[in-house]
Structure 1
Amino acid sequence: MTLIIKNRAVVEDGFVVIRAAEDGALPAVDALPAGQIIVPFALWKDNKDAIAASRSKAELGVWLAPDDEPADIVADFDKLAVIAVDFPVFRDGRGFSIGRLLRERYNWTSELRAIGDVLRDQVLFHSRCGFDAFAVRADKDINDALNAFNEFSELYQGATDNPEPLFRRRRAVLAARGA
């Protein structure tokens, strides 16, 4: 089993991320492995009834590519345990917006996982956008990535994890002191 960061702890992961072949072909539904899987949204769109019928909600996840529309998965929330967002390269930040949309606009409350080119430098920022699980790139130290959560003692901007910006939090502390 592989290791992921989930809820700020390193844990074993039972999910297998299904990817397209090098030629772009998606696997056939009957060729999917048994157990927990996270399938590409393109495969899910075309085969959701067959895939959902083949396993329980706890065994099923879907991953979104940067150009997938998160609104298109909302109707299927009740069938999924995990939604993953693919970061194909470090510099592609569209997944951050997808994460915030899923959490803030569409109210996804289950696991939201970052997959792909997930590096230590962005783990905290993924978290601030609503991600709670991270499949750190295989050639990187997952325990080092876990340290990213403790790098900053204060965060200026409001985000999914804490919508209050720092100036409002400080104002509330001063008001409580009677200052």
Structure 2
Amino acid sequence: MNKQIISFPKNGKPTLIANEWQVWDGERDEGGIPDLEHGFHKVLVPFHWWRIHNPAHHQNADVIDKASKGEIGVWFAADDDILKHADIIEAGKPLWPVVGAHFPIFRDGRSFSTAALLRDRFDWQGEVRAIGDVLIDQLLQGARVGFDAFELRPDQNPDIALKQFDLFSVVTQNSWRDQRATIAA
């Protein structure tokens, strides 16, 4: 678990900030959320767990309290069909300040599509965080499709990661960030 993440808001600059969120895998579930470790006060729960335990369907006081305070977000697995559960996502938008998209392994790019769908189809305005096996090599592509926060794999150097965003001054592809440039003929 990283103590810092890269935050790259749509109209801002990439910076390292403190990581306030613990990513929970949903295992050893007894109906509630985990005891938060290492000073974390907010938790990203798996979307499949949220579908079963969200405050609208569940009476766990801890879940209801944390959700009402904006201390619960969700993360999507690479194989979650978010279009199939559009109603749950729409209902969760006012509750979740952060959503994550999980990369189970760096060469599995399905979470890029999740970020793009959240931004384009669901008009998600909150933070979309890349979690899991996130490498420096994925940052530029992730920033273009809709990620605005990155929790790097622990062996990745955050100082080198920040420099990745300055590699190219011209972007000729469509981007969630609206930075597309045209080349004069």
The two structures have a TM-score, normalised by structure 2, of: 0.82
Report sequence identity in percent: 35
Give structure 1 stretches of 5+ with no counterpart.
Answer: 175-179
Give 2:76's match in structure 1, choosing from 57, 61, 64: 64
Q: Which residue of 2 aligns with 1:18?
A: 24
Give 2:127's match in structure 1, choosing from 104, 111, 118: 111
**Cα distance, 1:28 vs. partner?**
2.5
Contact 1:52 1:79 in 2 (8 A): no
CA RMSD between the two structures? 1.9
Contact 1:26 1:43 in 2 (8 A): no
Give 2:29's match in structure 1, choosing from 27, 30, 44: 27
Contact 1:57 1:80 in 2 (8 A): no
| Structure ranking higher in helix proportion | 1
Q: Distance in 2 between the 1:147 and 1:81 partners?
A: 27
Q: Pick closer, same or farther for the CA change 1:58–1:158 going to 2, 3 Å.
A: same
SS in 2 for 1:58: coil
SS in 2 for 1:112: strand
Q: Distance in 2 between the 1:17 and 1:160 partners?
A: 25
Give structure 2 stretches of 5+ with no counterpart.
Answer: 9-13
Contact 1:118 1:136 in 2 (8 A): yes
Amino acid at match of 1:59: E
Q: Distance in 1 between the 2:65 and 2:96 partners?
A: 13
In the TM superposition, structure 1's runs of 4+ consecutive aligned residues that sit over 3 Å from their partners are: none
Q: Which residue of 2 aligns with 1:177?
A: none
Q: Distance in 2 between the 1:30 and 1:64 partners?
A: 19
Q: Distance in 2 between the 1:129 and 1:66 partners?
A: 15
Q: Which residue of 2 aligns with 1:85?
A: 101
The two structures have a TM-score, normalised by structure 1, of: 0.84
Q: Distance in 1 between the 2:134 and 2:178 partners?
A: 22
Q: Distance in 2 between the 1:105 and 1:30 partners?
A: 31
**Cα distance, 1:57 vs. partner?**
4.3
Contact 1:41 1:64 in 2 (8 A): yes
Matches within 5 A, 1:91-170: 91-162=107-178, 164=180, 166=181, 169-170=182-183
Contact 1:15 1:37 in 2 (8 A): yes
Query: Deviations along 1:115-147, whole A, 9 cap, x unmatched?
Result: 001111111110001100000001111111111
**Cα distance, 1:30 vs. partner?**
3.0
SS in 2 for 1:70: coil
Q: Pick closer, same or farther for the CA change 1:2–1:18 going to 2, 3 Å.
A: same
User: Which one has a bigger Cα radius of gyration?
Assistant: 1
